[in-house]
Amino acid sequence: MGLFRKKKTETQKADSQEKQAESKVYIRGAGGSVVSKSILNGDSRLKWLFRQEGGPGNGWVAFGDTDSQEYVNNVENMAVVDFNTLARIEPAVVDVFYMPMGADLEFREDKTGKYFVDTRTGKEIREPVKHPAQIAFERNLKFLNQKSYPAAFFEGLFSENGKTKVFLAGKADFPTGEVALADPLAYVGTKYETVLDRRIPAGSYDVELSVCYSKIAGLRIAGARLLLSGKTPVRYEIAMPKGKKQEDLGKPGVLTVFGVDTGLACFADARTGVECRDFYERWQKEHPGANQYTDYFAALFQESCERHPDVQNRGGSFLEWQIPDTEHRLVFFSSGMGDGIYSAYWGLDEEGEAACLAIPFMNVEYF
């Protein structure tokens, strides 16, 4: 009986593994592809793979090594199946899934392995092709935090051009005029916020957002700026931390960035940052074990989203918030592609006075 049970268990395990292989999902939401029935039936092996604009599903079409022109011209010999069905027959197709429309590939297998050849260029494709969003993210990462950018970059970032929309998200109060940049949940009011050297006149200022509508990345806050005057900036310079000047840029230990670890950023006054942190500590004592975002801010972000649904993602992308028991407001906003380190730039007018303070999160040309 023991041997019988062992064999039965092994058979069940093999059947389970086979079923898992038959249902494996390589890419979720991959969509349908046109595949010749000779491949699906095991009568031929994958040979040609191309992606056509306006085709069914995701545009991918696969032919086998025995398929003739006459064979593929007969629609009865072709079937639309989930791309993962093709991937379960030949997993190598997953590596080229993200290639653009117009891709025309030949599949090869030899002693060096399995790979594709671009029939137009002859280039061998042996490494996975990255998702367009990943490519854009990596380019954007290299673009951020430069010493300076031309004024035209910021003009384009904060303009309505079909890809971006400019929106006033609310007002931020600066009772002292000492400006801090921070993640409003993780670092505002702590030693990890970045207080700037240049001060602004005490007062209340509009926070303007550049909302990017991207086919690759969806709706994103591409940039934010604090509007300090009605004058037009003619040049921009990176905002230096307190006690440091432009001539200190590049010196050891001089950091011009602030960190984001909750996907949110804000402009804050040094005093409002402390008030904000004091509120968090009081609230946490009153709600032990609770989470300040899910149990407090999430509902406020949702209300903001319901008021302005066209410029926010579901759940909210920005929030004008008055610190309880104070008269001071902050504006929280999503930081582009998410967590990271970012720099701010003073937009200076012809007299060299600060007309705005801008934080670029994205170069929208990449998205």
State the average pLDDT over residues 118-123.
Answer: 96
Going from the C-alpha of 294 to that of each of 11, 289, 315, the distances in angstroms are: 47, 12, 11
Nearest to 166 by CA among 358, 296, 366: 358
- Is residue 354, in this structure, part of any structural domain at all? yes
Residue whose structure tokens are 């509007």: 227
Q: Is 274 among the domain residues?
A: yes
- Higher-confidence residue of 56 and 6: namely 56
**The pLDDT value given to residue 14:** 46
Which of 171, 160, 159 lies closest to 319 in space, CA to CA?
171
pLDDT at 54 over 90: no
Q: Is the residue at 3 inside a domain?
A: no
pLDDT at position 218 over 70: yes
pLDDT at 9: 56
Tell me what the mean pLDDT of segment 329-341 comes to: 97
User: Are residues 202 and 95 part of one domain?
Assistant: no
The mean pLDDT of the chain is 93
Q: Is 325 part of any domain?
A: yes
Among 17, 51, 35, residue whose Cα is nearest residue 89: 35
Helix (H) or strand (E) holding 97: none
Residue 9 domain-assigned (yes or no): no
Number of domains within the chain: 2
Is the confidence at residue 347, as pLDDT, over 90? Answer: yes
**Claim to verify: residue 91 and residue 27 sit in the same structural domain:** yes
Distance from the Cα of residue 277 to its chain's centroid: 28
Buried b (16+ CB within 10 A) or exposed e, 182-214: bbbbbbbbeeebbbbebebeeeebebbbbbbbb
Does one domain contain both 124 and 147? Answer: no
Q: In the structure encoding, which two tokens stand for residue 173, read together? A: 């109060």
Is the pLDDT score of 92 beyond 90?
Answer: yes
Kindly state the tokens that stand for 327: 């008269």
6 in a domain, yes or no? no
pLDDT over threshold 80, residue 1: no
Single out the residue in 66, 94, 129 at which a domain terminates. 129
Contact assessment for residue 50 and residue 67, using Cβ atoms and an 8 Å cutoff: no
Percent of the chain predicted with pLDDT > 70: 94
* Same domain flag for 221 and 318: yes
Question: Final residue of a domain: which of 129, 160, 184?
Answer: 129
Which residues are registered as beta bridge partners of 212? 164, 220
Query: Edge to edge, what strands does the sheet with 104-110 contain?
Result: 78-82, 32-36, 60-64, 46-51, 104-110, 113-118, 124-125
Please say whether the beta carbons of 293 and 262 come within 8 A: yes
* Shared domain check, 188 and 109: no
Residue percentage of the chain with pLDDT more than 90: 90
Residues 318 and 201 in one domain: yes
Closest CA to 206 of 237, 187, 230, 183: 230
Instruction: Write the CA distances from 224 to 7, 19, 164, 348, integer angstroms.
Output: 65, 50, 12, 16
pLDDT class of 10 with cuts at 50, 70, 90: low
CA-closest candidate to residue 332, choices 227, 244, 284, 262: 262
Residue 41 shares a structural domain with residue 80: yes
Domain for residue 193, yes or no?
yes
Q: What is the pLDDT of residues 234-287, one digit of tens each?
A: 999 999 999 999 999 989 999 999 999 999 999 999 999 999 999 999 999 999
CA 218/CA 133 separation, integer angstroms? 10
Asked whether residue 216 falls in the same domain as residue 277, the answer is yes
The residue whose two tokens read 């951020």 is 144
Regarding whether 179 and 232 lie in a shared domain, the answer is yes
What tokens does 161 get? 């051009």
Q: Is residue 7 part of a domain?
A: no
Domain span at residue 66?
A: 19-129
pLDDT per position as a tens digit, 13-46: 545 444 555 679 999 999 999 999 999 999 999 9
Mean pLDDT of 173-181: 98
Question: Domain ends where: 113, 129, 145?
Answer: 129
Q: Quote the pLDDT of residue 162.
A: 87
Q: Are residues 353 and 215 in the same domain?
A: yes
Q: What's residue 315's pLDDT?
A: 95
Residues 198 and 296 reside in one and the same domain? yes
Token pair recorded at residue 209: 């957002």
d(CA 35, CA 15): 27
Per-residue pLDDT at 301 exceeds 90: yes
pLDDT of residue 67: 97
What is the end-to-end Cα distance of the chain in Å, rounded? 64
Question: Is 108 in the same domain as 145?
Answer: no
